[in-house]
Amino acid sequence: VESSIPEHMREAWRKYSPSGFTTKDQFETEIVRHIETTLARSLFNCDELAAYSGTALAFRDRLIMDWNKTQQRQTFADQKRIYYLSLEFLMGRALDNAMLNVGLKNVAKEGLADLGFRIEDVINQEHDAALGNGGLGRLAACFLDSMASLNYPAWGYGLRYRYGIFKQEIENGYQVEIPDYWLDFNPWEFARHDVTVDVQFYGWVNKYTDDEGKQIVSWQDGEIVTAVAYDVPVPGYGTPTVNNLRLWSSKASSGEFDFSKFNSGEYESAVADQQRAETISAVLYPNDNLERGKELRLKQQYFWCAASLFDIVRRFKKTNRKWSEFPDQVAIQLNDTHPTLAVVELQRILVDKEGLEWQTAWDIVTKTFSYTNHTVLPEALEKWSVPLIQNLLPRHLQIIYEINLSFLQTVERRFPKDRELLGRVSLIEESQPKTVRMAYLAIVGSHKVNGVAELHSDLIKTTIFKDFVRIYGPDKFINVTNGITPRRWLHQANPRLSELIASKLGSYEFLKDLTLLNKLEPFVDDKEFKKEWAEIKYANKVRLAQHILKTTGVSVNPKALFDVQVKRIHEYKRQQLNVFGVIHRYLAIKSLSSEERKKLAPRVTIFGGKAAPGYWMAKTIIHLINKVGEVINNDPDVGDLLKVIFLEDYNVSKAEIIIPASDISEHISTAGTEASGTSNMKFVLNGGLIIGTLDGANIEITREIGEQNVFLFGNLSEDVEDLRHNHFYGDYQVDPELQKVFDLIKSGKFGDEGSFGALIGAITEHGDYYLVSDDFNSYTKTQDLIDETFKNQDEWVTKCITSVARMGFFTSDRCINEYADTIWNIEPLDVAEEKQVRART
Ligand code: KOT
């Protein structure tokens, strides 16, 4: 308050407060000013990167003003806020998004043209913010977009990794990982050197009784690392709301950086201390759906949770409310179990620091938190070793034990005769060493637990969390089916399609209410509309073909069917099924006469995705795809009938090129393994069809758009267990057509590095856990059906348009409104007044 400008002087301030550009001339003034002053460049020294930087700085100025106002408005409104805790935010590029959200992309386009630049080239200069692995991190980014667009008072909290997900290069068919240092020039972040939190590690716990007979617990000594806040503005679409994403960066605390050491000449050890502190936020763990239990990962988790909780509590305390009102002001969403220590940290703050009774504090904690589960894969469920926690966070381990004790006592009272139940649901697994089951801790510490698609939410209730449904009753467990933001994934990635839709619907209102897309359905018989629709898809395919030629040297026919599978490489996602299907197709082509070949539908099969650096089987799949591509793409018998492409370094900005160009995309995980999938939604929204299993959100997509518009295949989730079991009994044999594929691979046709043996062995020798052989026949038959259907372009386009018209449900706006209503109990902030002010100026 002391730092406010005095009341009677604010007039002068307001007079000079910048109002931001709206016209082309004003934009040009801003960009030139930034290039000449902020960047110290000139007319004679302005390349595309400088043009990008200048444009970004001009738009940033605009965002900052709305951002400041949003924060003031939220503070003034004094409503409940939602805090979204995620270790991953896969934001991608910010400039294009900012231009579209502010509604000034055309102004920028013309202004840049005046200065001799093409806006696409300028946009392409930006480095992706790649602070995530895949679906989980991108979901968090879509949620931020929706929360801002819907005017929810929301904050994201994460880590400011110095290195995002690695950049992938392919060398001789193998994946090579290159570090992704992305912070050289990042105009979208603001270092808040005044917003810091000291975070403690290691040390010991001192328990004693004070003079008044009160139990005091104090966590002493250990190491201190300082968290520094970096804020990133998150603009909403068509609204003045700009929310905040706060990312923490670690540095040695000023107490820690030992000046006496430094002075006495021990430079090296002083610098080593500093580096150790900075290591915490140095790098994103590159594993998707896998947890490896490393100490540094646990340090990251606690560092981020402790800093975020301190910040949230600090903000609450400024309102001078009673602690009992904390859950009326604060909702905290746990994006998977990665932030579960936040539950323990809040309990510690309330009990040890603020002196609340255990049970009073615990009621506040459970009313505040809720937890989203994103996976049922056993290898992805976090279990932290007890000795590791004991050493790093001794007080937290005590609290976990205390939470467990009181939880198990409640369970025992409710189910007195069920001793085994206690062992099964204990937060501590009695293994060697003992481990803490983080998902169980997250459930116990939350008032709501949700899965991310209907099947997935049912599965967690009947399998991994079954006992907890008995204990808490079914209402604690709910479903919120995932969604995607139509701003980035339609309007930004596919501007021509967005424009065509707007021309039919009369406005761009569908970008704020995606259910309006259903008004497209009457146009499925409109010849001219269908023609334009097909032209746009074709243009998007030409663009992708150019990208393919430029990056791989392979020329593909844009008239061919583009078949795309882009996602993290994982055995459960079954890229191996796809590549075996490709080889099967290759064998079929080879067996035909040249006359017969003419009747075939030409196809380009496109793969993209990263393998975790330590995931050997996933890397082998990449290698096989590349080797198969080399052979097929150079076989003159095949020509345009089949091309196999592996696109390097799949990321958000490449997705924006690839997704709009797809005819068919593959979402072919073993039933029951993919919690939701979100790219399936992006592809359909862009006028592509999908081939998929009855898994994750594929099921709900099918329900919405109609069975006749989806190519479904494969076994059902309920049959998977029995099928797996059968693989070990009787005279189990792989599918005969698949066997022919294996024979060709084993013949050395695709090179004989020996490594492909393991891929085949997993299926023929080791139980085919992912049911590749069981689903193979159904898969290839469905691919044949796709070929037939694609030959009738008119019917195909009808399916595409109908599907897009029925995709309204899958906007992340619907999803965020469901979270707000059923979990967070928060309301959007009224911005009508602000909008009027903006309209007047
Ligand atoms: C698990 C551990 C570490 C890193 C990531 C994960 C993870 C990612 N768990 N689930 N996911 C994906 O989350 C997406 C968003 O809900 C889902 O669409 C997708 O099916 C999950 O695999």
Q: List, as one string, the DSSP characters of 677-739.
A: -SHHHHHHHTT-EEEE-S-TTHHHHHHHH-GGGSEE-S--HHHHHHHHHHTTSSS----HHHH
Q: How many A from CA of 403 to the centre of ligand 1?
A: 27
Task: Give the active site residues.
Answer: 374, 567-568, 573, 678, 682
Tell whether the model's pLDDT for residue 405 goes beyond 80: yes
- Quick one: average pLDDT of 400-424? 97
Cα 813 to Cα 143: distance, rounded to the nearest angstrom: 8
CB atoms within 10 A of CB 525: 10
What residues form DSSP beta bridges with 163? Answer: 181, 283
What residues form DSSP beta bridges with 176? Answer: 169
Tell whether the model's pLDDT for residue 376 goes beyond 70: yes
Cβ of 672 below 6 Å from ligand 1: no
Query: Best of 136, 372, 574 to mutate for ligand 1, by most ligand atoms within 8 A of CB?
Result: 136
Cβ atoms 655, 679 nearer than 8 A: yes
Query: Best of 288, 449, 700 to mutate for ligand 1, by most ligand atoms within 8 A of CB?
Result: 288
Q: How many A from CA of 373 to the centre of ligand 1?
A: 8
Q: How many A from CA of 378 to the centre of ligand 1?
A: 13
pLDDT digits (tens, 9 = 90+) for 468-499: 999 999 999 999 999 999 999 999 999 999 99
Place of tokens 């500093």: 274
Q: How many A from CA of 638 to the centre of ligand 1?
A: 38
Query: Best of 375, 450, 567, 679 to mutate for ligand 1, by most ligand atoms within 8 A of CB?
Result: 375
Cα 563 to Cα 579: distance, rounded to the nearest angstrom: 12
What local confidence, expressed as pLDDT, does residue 254 receive? 80
Give 548's contacts (C-beta < 8 A, 6+ positions apart).
554, 555, 556, 606, 645, 647
Cβ of 675 below 6 Å from ligand 1: yes
Q: Is 376 helix (H, G, I), strand (E, B) or coil?
A: coil
Per DSSP bridges, beta strands 664-667 and 154-159 are: unpaired
Cα 561 to Cα 582: distance, rounded to the nearest angstrom: 14
Tell whether the model's pLDDT for residue 832 goes beyond 90: no
CB atoms within 10 A of CB 120: 10
Which amino acid belongs to residue 425? V
> At CA 324, angle to CA 323 and CA 330, rounded to 5?
80
Which amino acid belongs to residue 27? F
Tell whether the model's pLDDT for residue 835 goes beyond 70: yes
What are the Cα distances from residue 631, in Å, to 343, 556, 582, 634, 750? Answer: 54, 15, 12, 6, 7
Q: How many A from CA of 288 to the centre of ligand 1?
A: 7
Judge whether 290-481 and 486-717+774-810 match in fold. yes
Helices (H), 488-593: 495-505, 527-552, 575-590
Ligand 1, residue 482: give the atom nearest the CA: 16
Structure tokens at 690: 């999908």
Q: For residue 447, give the DSSP letter.
A: S
* 116-120 CB contacts, 8 Å cutoff, 24+ apart: 117/48, 117/51
Ligand 1, residue 374: give the atom nearest the CA: 10
What local confidence, expressed as pLDDT, does residue 839 receive? 67
List the chain domain ranges: 290-481, 486-717+774-810
Tell whether the model's pLDDT for residue 825 goes beyond 90: yes
What are the Cα distances from residue 617, in Å, to 27, 169, 571, 611, 628? Answer: 51, 18, 8, 9, 16
Cβ of 815 below 6 Å from ligand 1: no
Query: Best of 139, 289, 669 to mutate for ligand 1, by most ligand atoms within 8 A of CB?
Result: 289
pLDDT digits (tens, 9 = 90+) for 248-305: 999 999 875 566 676 777 778 888 889 999 999 999 999 999 999 999 999 999 999 9
Cβ of 288 below 6 Å from ligand 1: yes
Tell whether the model's pLDDT for residue 752 goes beyond 80: no
Cβ of 803 below 6 Å from ligand 1: no
Ligand 1, residue 677: give the atom nearest the CA: 18
Which amino acid belongs to residue 373? N
Q: Name the band, by pLDDT with cuts 50, 70 and 90, for residue 97.
A: very high
What are the Cα distances from residue 321, in Å, to 111, 358, 378, 761? Answer: 50, 19, 42, 63
- Quick one: average pLDDT of 715-727? 98
What local confidence, expressed as pLDDT, does residue 348 receive? 98
Q: How many A from CA of 686 to the centre of ligand 1?
A: 23
What are the Cα distances from residue 353, in Å, to 316, 320, 368, 441, 500? Answer: 15, 16, 18, 22, 59
Q: Is 791 helix (H, G, I), strand (E, B) or coil?
A: helix
Q: For residue 484, give the DSSP letter.
A: B
Of the candidates 149, 168, 143, which has an alpha carbon nearest to the alpha carbon of residue 650? 168
Which of 59-68, 268-277, 767-776, 805-814 is predicted least confidently? Answer: 268-277
- Quick one: average pLDDT of 436-463? 98
Cβ atoms 620, 755 nearer than 8 A: yes
User: Mean of the per-residue pLDDT values for the chain?
Assistant: 96
Cβ of 137 below 6 Å from ligand 1: no
Cβ of 291 below 6 Å from ligand 1: yes
Closest residue by Cα to atom 10, ligand 1, is 374
Closest residue by Cα to atom 4, ligand 1, is 288
> At CA 442, angle to CA 79 and CA 301, rounded to 5?
85
- Quick one: average pLDDT of 627-656? 98
Tell whether the model's pLDDT for residue 20 goes beyond 90: no
Cα 416 to Cα 413: distance, rounded to the nearest angstrom: 5
Cβ of 133 below 6 Å from ligand 1: yes
- Quick one: average pLDDT of 691-719? 98
Beta strand residue intervals within 426-546, DSSP E: 428-429, 435-437, 448-451, 477-479
> Can you give the length of the chain in residues?
841
Q: How many A from CA of 289 to the centre of ligand 1?
A: 6
Measured in degrees and rounded to the nearest 5, phi and psi for residue 611 equal -100, 140
Cβ atoms 159, 247 nearer than 8 A: yes
Cβ of 482 below 6 Å from ligand 1: yes
Cβ of 676 below 6 Å from ligand 1: yes
Cβ of 286 below 6 Å from ligand 1: no
Cβ of 374 below 6 Å from ligand 1: yes
Q: How many A from CA of 489 to the centre of ligand 1?
A: 19
Task: Say which residue, 391 or 8, is predicted with more confidence.
Answer: 391
What local confidence, expressed as pLDDT, does residue 256 receive? 55
Cβ of 669 below 6 Å from ligand 1: no
Q: How many A from CA of 290 to the centre of ligand 1?
A: 9
Helices (H), 246-393: 259-263, 267-279, 295-317, 326-329, 341-348, 358-368, 386-392
Tell whether the model's pLDDT for residue 1 goes beyond 60: no
CB half-sphere exposure, 490, CA atoms < 13 A: 30
Q: Is 254 helix (H, G, I), strand (E, B) or coil?
A: coil
What are the Cα distances from residue 503, in Å, to 407, 496, 507, 509? Answer: 58, 10, 7, 11
What local confidence, expressed as pLDDT, does residue 2 receive? 65
- What's the CATH architecture for 290-481? 3-Layer(aba) Sandwich (3.40)
* % the chain with pLDDT above 70: 98
- Quick one: average pLDDT of 505-523? 98
Closest residue by Cα to atom 18, ligand 1, is 677
Q: Is 644 helix (H, G, I), strand (E, B) or coil?
A: strand
- What's the CATH architecture for 486-717+774-810? 3-Layer(aba) Sandwich (3.40)
- Quick one: average pLDDT of 134-147? 98
Place of tokens 């990321």: 651
Q: Name the band, by pLDDT with cuts 50, 70 and 90, for residue 17.
A: confident
Cα 661 to Cα 561: distance, rounded to the nearest angstrom: 10
Of the candidates 627, 648, 653, which has an alpha carbon nearest to the alpha carbon of residue 550? 648
Kindly tell me the burial class for residue 412, based on how many C-beta atoms sit within 10 Å of its own C-beta (0-12, 13-18, 19 or more). middle
